[in-house]
Each structure stands twice: as C-alpha cells, then as structure tokens.
Amino acid sequence: MLQATAVQISKIMYRNITGTTKSKEAMKFACRDMFPCRSIVLTNIDLQKKDGTAETYCNSATGFGFGTINPSADCLTSDDKYYSSPSEKDHPSVSEKGITQLEESKEDLLVHTEL
C-alpha cells in the first residue's frame, strides 16, 4: 500500500507578479485538508487571461492580499473554492484586517519571488 506524503506550506509571500495565462485558473492553491496552506500573502499580482475571466482556486488555503490582486483571491479568506475577479471598484483588494495581520507577522514572513 502506498502512503501519501505531503508538505505543509505556511508564511509564503507572492509579490510583484504580472503576466498572462492560458488557464482559467491563474492562481491555484490546491492544498490538502490534512495539511492546509496557511498565511499566504499576495501583493501586487496582475495575471490576465486573453479570452475570458481568470479565476483563483483555493482548497484548504488561508491568507490575504493587499495592493492590486487580479484575479481576486478572496477564496483564501472564505469557503469559496473558486472566485472570479470582480472590478476593482466593486471589491477593493486591500482590507484593514489583512494589513493588520501583515504588520503583526511581517518579521515572520518568508519572501518567495519565484512561482
């Protein structure tokens, strides 16, 4: 019998990432229920899809974003697995809670600049 292995991811920051995607899911945080991803921080992300709307997928992942986040990653803070990005004016991506969390944990964050 094969035994599944997993690594638990936490305190990862993605920042200043721009580009285009062919995939419907521009960002995908597919973590296991037994080993959730925690404290994912997104800042200044702009990923566009040429044909249609890009989405973010989350499973067992928590975190927050500030600055420009496109597509929106509200699924990191909700039970929604998919989230389509609304317009910036209808849903601002900066939250006071997120900024407070960042300030409280900024010394503990690992900055990861490659995907």
The answer to whether residue 90 sits within a structural domain is yes
Assess if residue 1 is contained within a domain: no
The model carries a pTM of 0.65
Domain annotation covers residue 3: no
Residue pLDDT, tens place only, 1-19: 555 666 788 999 999 999 9
The 10s digit of each residue's pLDDT in 83-94 is 654 443 333 444
Count of the separate structural domains present in the chain: 1
pLDDT of 9 reads 84
Residues in the chain with pLDDT values less than 50: 85-115
Q: From the DSSP assignment, how many helices (H) and strands (E) are in the chain?
A: 1, 7
In a domain, 5, yes or no: no
Alpha helices, DSSP H only, in the chain?
A: 96-105
Considering the domain boundaries, does residue 2 fall inside one?
no
How is residue 93 written in tokens? 């991506």
- Give the residue numbers spanning the domain of 78: 10-110
Residue 15 lies in a domain: yes
Is 26 strand, coil or helix? strand
Residue 102's CB is within 10 A of a number of other CB atoms, namely 17
